[in-house]
A = this chain, B = another copy of it.
């Protein structure tokens, strides 16, 4: 057994410096949806890796550039680490207790957009690498970083990037960008991500808004057209109505079910945290809630906009209306097929006036819970967290893991500094420093053992 006490001491001693480095990274806005600061952030990340002796290349794509970095290690093994430097939009700004791009440390918690998702994870990993290099001057294995800038905007160009760079991305395993503890402070191993197909549906019924007193009885109303079209996608029973939508869905296996049965009931936790009075589809909690959460595909309205939205009343008949809609997909659904199904369904239902703009997608992908790398990352967590890491066979979120799993043929494992109150994607996104340190300690152990 390697003795990690010296490296743990290094991580503690240099924590403030690492958080200062993270704060500089968070202060650089990198909002993909608003095309704000991506190039600057990629540069900053590249410099951070160069300082650690990585060979770094900022590789252009048709969208945001990918930062690719590589440093040889002592063994023949290669770990590919996937992170992203882009963040979600900070809005609504008025709900932040401190400005989203001015990181603020309060009571051992760092607040700011991206501190958790996913700049914190990246810098914690660099912190672990610093400890490994400090202890041994060399990395235990070769480490490659793929750090993209479009994760929050559906990783539109990442699959192409991977297909074009398969040779240099060769590795033995992939460490995913996120991870963390659940509400019991138990470290979790999330295997598998749902896919996604994100679209904007829009209608233009007139060339200009008009007075509702005038046009209400005779003009087509874009907001009504949109509401009616959306209603044909899913009814109050939550069944998605695109013909063929469920054809490729693979139900959970007995092994999946057993893994979920080992997890605690989250019903009360969710009800408290999100103010849910009742779950949909009659779900009450327990294993069925876990399985529904991740093994059922969804159709979610993420946004609606049309006409007058200010205080009080304005009597306007809107010429334009639009909705943001995401479909979460489970193995083996495909975003391109869903897009085709959606167009056909709208046309067949008389809604050819509804335009579809494809805003990105990912295919679902899973890693076998019995893969040895899974066993390793679980085993190396326990000394750090003091409790065994629990395996979750799939999670509800999405990400571009499909090409890593299916084109690079890598097991993908997860670990990170997240917690259920991280508020990723929301105001007051935050990072607990105790979990940041634990993640770094876990990574020191995982990378050491992986390299053997």
Chain A residues at the B interface, C-beta cutoff of 8 Å = 32-34, 88-89, 91, 152-154, 194, 196, 198, 200, 206-221, 223-224, 226-228, 230-231, 234-236, 270, 273-281, 283, 289, 292-294, 296-319, 321, 323-324, 326, 328, 350, 359-360, 395-398, 424-426
Q: Which of B212, B220, B228, B323 contacts A302 (CB 8 A)?
A: B212
Residues of B within 8 A of A212 (CB): 298, 300, 302, 326, 328
Identical subunits present = 2
Residues of B within 8 A of A227 (CB): 227, 230-231, 301, 304
Contact present for A316 and B303 (CB under 8 Å): yes
Give the nearest-CB partner of A267 in chain B.
B218
CA distance A306 to B220 in the complex (A): 22
Q: How far is the CB of A380 from chain B (nearest CB, A)?
A: 27
Residues of B within 8 A of A210 (CB): 274, 426
Give the nearest-CB partner of A426 in chain B.
B209
CA distance A296 to B219 in the complex (A): 13
Q: Contacts A217-B396, A228-B235, A328-B216 given: A302-B314 contact, CB under 8 Å?
A: yes
Residues of B within 8 A of A153 (CB): 312-313
Q: How far is the CB of A238 from chain B (nearest CB, A)?
A: 8
CA distance A447 to B297 in the complex (A): 70
Q: Contacts A209-B426, A296-B217 given: A302-B326 contact, CB under 8 Å?
A: no
Contact present for A312 and B32 (CB under 8 Å): yes
What 13 additional pairs, Cβ within 8 angstroms, besides A212-B328, A216-B299, A302-B307?
Answer: A213-B328, A214-B396, A217-B280, A218-B293, A220-B279, A223-B303, A224-B234, A226-B304, A303-B307, A303-B318, A304-B305, A314-B324, A315-B425
Residues of B within 8 A of A276 (CB): 206, 219-220
Contact present for A360 and B396 (CB under 8 Å): no
CA distance A87 to B216 in the complex (A): 21
CA distance A280 to B279 in the complex (A): 39
For the complex of A and B, the 5 pairs showing the least CB-CB separation, nearest first, are: A207-B275, A213-B397, A216-B298, A33-B312, A303-B307
Contact present for B309 and A305 (CB under 8 Å): yes
CA distance A307 to B325 in the complex (A): 11
Contact present for A314 and B303 (CB under 8 Å): yes
Q: Contacts A301-B318, A315-B196, A397-B211 given: A310-B34 contact, CB under 8 Å?
A: yes
Residues of B within 8 A of A208 (CB): 273-275, 426
CA distance A315 to B303 in the complex (A): 9
Residues of B within 8 A of A297 (CB): 217
CA distance A398 to B213 in the complex (A): 7
Q: Contacts A33-B312, A208-B275 given: A283-B218 contact, CB under 8 Å?
A: yes
Contact present for A304 and B304 (CB under 8 Å): yes
Contact present for A298 and B217 (CB under 8 Å): yes
Contact present for B305 and A318 (CB under 8 Å): no
CA distance A34 to B313 in the complex (A): 10
Residues of B within 8 A of A326 (CB): 212, 216, 313, 315
Q: How far is the CB of A382 from chain B (nearest CB, A)?
A: 26
CA distance A211 to B201 in the complex (A): 20
Contact present for A219 and B33 (CB under 8 Å): no
Q: Contacts A219-B279, A293-B217, A318-B303 given: A359-B206 contact, CB under 8 Å?
A: no
Q: Which of B278, B302, B312 contacts A318 (CB 8 A)?
A: B302
21 chain-A/chain-B pairs, Cβ below 8 angstroms? A33-B310, A33-B312, A34-B312, A198-B313, A207-B274, A208-B273, A208-B274, A212-B328, A213-B396, A214-B293, A215-B274, A218-B293, A227-B227, A227-B230, A228-B236, A301-B307, A302-B316, A303-B308, A304-B306, A314-B324, A315-B425
Q: Contacts A196-B315, A279-B218, A324-B307 given: A301-B89 contact, CB under 8 Å?
A: no
Contact present for A223 and B304 (CB under 8 Å): yes
CA distance A9 to B276 in the complex (A): 72
CA distance A280 to B220 in the complex (A): 6
CA distance A215 to B266 in the complex (A): 12
Residues of B within 8 A of A277 (CB): 220
Give the nearest-CB partner of A277 in chain B.
B220
Give the nearest-CB partner of A208 in chain B.
B274
Instruction: Determine which residue in A234, A289, A425 has the highest number of CB atoms from chain B within 10 A of its CB, and name it.
Output: A425
Q: Contacts A89-B310, A230-B227, A315-B425 given: A397-B214 contact, CB under 8 Å?
A: yes
